[in-house]
Structures are given as structure tokens and as C-alpha cells.
């Protein structure tokens, strides 16, 4: 039986990192492709955009506010005193898929051996994840320290400059 999630998962490409120039974005490499859950249509700056939220194995649980991530079941890479999760602080706006989509992100291939339990958990909790991600965005301007967060205003500005929204 093949796993067919309703959600879309992507891997961000180097061109997107270069476009945003944000050191807080979590990078994929050829040997370590990072999965990002795509949430279609979240509100930011009074408009709706697609966002990629990175799936992480090691978020420092006691040092990271729970409002900034959605906890997932631990992975084989999750260390003690850490949690796996979807990290809202590291999410970014995606370019319009009609405009050079493959240049900026590609489909992430789900590993049925490693990823099935987590993908099923995400599917089961999709409404909560969307609500929590939207809540993060609603409060984005009020976050006192964005030290470990992607600069979403810059992402928006760069996509806007290049007519990629």
C-alpha cells in the first residue's frame, strides 16, 4: 500500500535561499533533503499566500515557546530534551507556483519507512496545524524577539520585487 497524503511536501531549492538571503531558513542539501509541509493560503499582510513550514527533528523544547511550533512524534534523529515538530519560526512564503516553481522548490518524496507515522499524524491534525500557523502569523508583528525567526517581511518584499507573488 502506497502512502498518499492529502498534504503537499516540498524541498526548498538553493535559488529560494539566495532570493531571501535569510540565515534562519533551514537549508536542504543533496545528502539531507529537508521536508517542508506546504500550507496553502495563510493570511499575511492582508493577503493569502502559500507557506512552507519545515519539519524538524530537534527543537529545544524547554527554550522554545510552544506557540512557535507544532509538536510531532519523535523521529529516529530526535535527541533527548528535544522534540520533533513543524517550526513556524522557520516558515517562509512560497513564490507563486505558476512562476518558476521548480526553480524555488520541488516535491519532497515521502520515505514510507521513516515518514509514515509522522505524515499520518500531520494529516490527522491538519486543521490544528493550520490554525496554529495562522495564529503565529497573526501575532508576528508582536513577537518581541525574532532572533531565531525567518524575516517574513523581507520574504514578502523580495517576492514582490521579483513579481513572484
Q: What is the pLDDT of residue 165?
A: 86
Ranking 23-27, 28-32, 38-42 by mean pLDDT, the lowest is 28-32
pLDDT in tens, 66-110: 999 999 999 888 999 999 999 999 999 999 867 666 889 988 888
Q: What is the mean pLDDT of residues 12-34?
A: 85
Q: What is the pLDDT of residue 20?
A: 96
Q: What is the pLDDT of residue 136?
A: 96
Mean pLDDT, rounded, of the chain: 89
Long-range contacts formed by 4-8: CB under 8 A, 24+ apart: 5/110, 5/119, 5/122, 5/123, 6/123, 6/126, 7/37, 7/38, 7/119, 7/122, 7/123, 7/126, 8/37, 8/38, 8/40, 8/107
Q: What is the pLDDT of residue 5?
A: 79
Domains of the chain: 8-161 (3.10.129.130)
144, pLDDT greater than 80:
no
Amino acid at each position: 500500500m502506497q502512502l498518499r497524503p492529502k498534504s503537499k511536501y516540498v524541498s526548498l531549492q538553493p535559488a529560494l535561499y539566495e532570493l531571501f538571503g535569510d540565515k534562519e531558513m533551514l537549508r536542504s542539501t543533496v545528502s539531507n533533503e529537508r521536508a517542508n509541509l506546504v500550507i496553502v493560503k495563510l493570511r499575511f499582510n492582508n493577503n493569502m499566500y502559500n507557506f512552507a513550514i519545515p519539519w524538524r527533528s530537534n527543537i529545544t523544547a524547554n527554550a522554545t515557546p510552544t506557540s512557535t511550533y507544532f509538536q510531532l512524534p519523535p523521529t529516529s534523529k530526535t535527541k533527548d530534551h528535544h522534540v520533533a515538530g513543524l517550526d513556524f519560526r522557520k516558515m517562509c512564503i512560497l513564490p507563486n507556483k505558476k512562476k518558476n516553481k521548480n526553480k524555488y522548490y520541488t516535491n519532497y518524496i515521502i520515505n514510507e519507512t521513516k515518514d509514515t507515522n509522522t505524515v499520518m499524524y500531520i494529516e490527522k491534525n491538519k486543521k490544528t496545524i493550520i490554525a496554529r500557523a495562522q495564529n503565529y502569523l497573526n501575532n508576528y508583528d508582536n513577537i518581541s524577539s525574532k532572533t531565531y525567526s525567518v524575516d517574513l517581511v523581507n520574504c514578502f518584499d523580495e517576492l514582490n520585487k521579483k513579481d513572484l507573488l
